[in-house]
Amino acid sequence: MNFKKLLLLACIGFLLTSCKVPKDITYMQGFDNNQTEAVAPPVRITVQPDDKLAIIVTSKDPELAVAFNLAIAQYRIGTGTNGSTMESKAAAYTIDPDGYIDFPLIGKLKVAGLNRYGVAEMIKKEIVARGLVKDPVVTVEYLNAKISVLGDVTNPGEYAIERDNMTLLQAIAMAGDLRITGNRKNILIVREESGKDVAYRVDLTDTKSLMESPAYYLRQNDVVYVEPNNTRKRQATETANVFYNPTVWVSVASVLASIAVIIFR
C-alpha cells in the first residue's frame, strides 16, 4: 500500500473518530421491557421551619368552621384598557424557628417533622377534643415548597413541589432535561438534614443506583446540580477553547479530507 492510500485511510479514520456518537447519554441503561427494579421507599416531604402552609377547615356548618380559617387576601391583576381581574389567595401559616404555628382557638401546635396529612390529623383531633366542631374536614397544602435545578440543564431555576414523592427524574423534566453536554453519571443533590448539608451523587445511566438512592425522591429546598462533562469543561477553559472546539476540528477534518482526495487522484 503506497503513501497516498495510507494518507487517505488516516484521514477517513480521523473523520470517523471526530463524528463518533457520545457515550453515556442514555438514562436507565439496561432497564428492559417488563423488567422490575426496587425503588427507594417513598418519603412524603415534612414540614420545616419557615415553610408556609395553607390550612382550611370546613364543616357541614360553615359558621362554625369560619373561625379557624385565615382571611382570604385578594389581589388585583392586570391594568390598562383590558381592565383587571381579582385573584384570591389563602393567607399562610408560617412555621416559626421552633417548628410551631399559632392556630385559632387552639393555640400553639408543633407541626415540624410532620407531613401535611399528619398536620391535618393533629388539627382535626384538637378541634374535636375541645368540642369546637363535631365534623371538621382539614386540608393542608404547601405554599412555598421548592427545589432548585442548576448547572447544565435547559432551563435552570427554582421549581415548585406540587405533589408528594416528586422524583429526581421529574425535577429534571421540569428543567427541560439535561443538555447533551451534561454529565449524566454524576448528578449532585444537596439536602439539609439536621442542620447540615448532605451530598448525594446519582448516576442516571444506572437504573439500580438511581432508584435505590435516598435522593431519588426529592424534598423541599433540595438543590440538584448537573455538572458539565469533560468536553464541555475543556471548551470553557480560556487557553483550550481553540484546540477543543468541535467546530475547529470539523473544519480541520474537512480540509484534510479534501487534500487526501486530491493526492489520491
Continuous segment of H or E residues that includes residue 264: helix 246-264
Q: Is the pLDDT of residue 249 over 70?
A: no
Residue 68 lies in a domain: yes
Residue 188 lies in a domain: yes
Amino acid at the residue 9 = L
Q: Are 57 and 132 found together in one domain?
A: yes
Average pLDDT over the chain, rounded to whole? 80
Residue 92 lies in a domain: yes
Query: What is the CATH classification number for the domain harbouring 113?
Result: 3.30.1950.10
Percent of the chain at pLDDT > 90 equals 47
Residue-wise pLDDT for 91-143, tens only, equals 789 999 999 999 999 999 999 999 999 999 999 999 999 999 999 999 999 99
Q: Are 212 and 150 found together in one domain?
A: yes
Kindly indicate the confidence band of residue 191, based on its pLDDT and cuts at 50, 70 and 90.
Answer: very high
Contacts of residue 227, Cβ cutoff 8 Å, sequence gap at least 6: 151, 152, 182, 183, 186, 188
And the C-alpha cell for 228? 458539565
Residue 43 lies in a domain: no
Residue 36 lies in a domain: no
Overall average pLDDT of the 233-254 stretch: 59
Spatial contact of 152 and 179, defined as CB atoms under 8 Å apart = yes
pTM of the complete model beyond 0.85: no
Kindly indicate the confidence band of residue 85, based on its pLDDT and cuts at 50, 70 and 90.
Answer: low
Q: Which residues span the domain enclosing 95?
A: 52-142
Instruction: State how many domains the chain has.
Output: 3
Measuring CA to CA, which residue among 242, 224, 244 is closest to residue 234?
Answer: 244
Domain boundary among 125, 142, 159: 142
Overall average pLDDT of the 196-213 stretch: 90
The Cα 118–Cα 109 span in angstroms is 12
Q: Are 61 and 130 found together in one domain?
A: yes
Residue 165 lies in a domain: yes
Q: Compute CA 202 distance to the chain's CA centroid, rounded to the nearest angstrom.
A: 13
> Kind of pairing, strands 52-58 and 93-94?
antiparallel
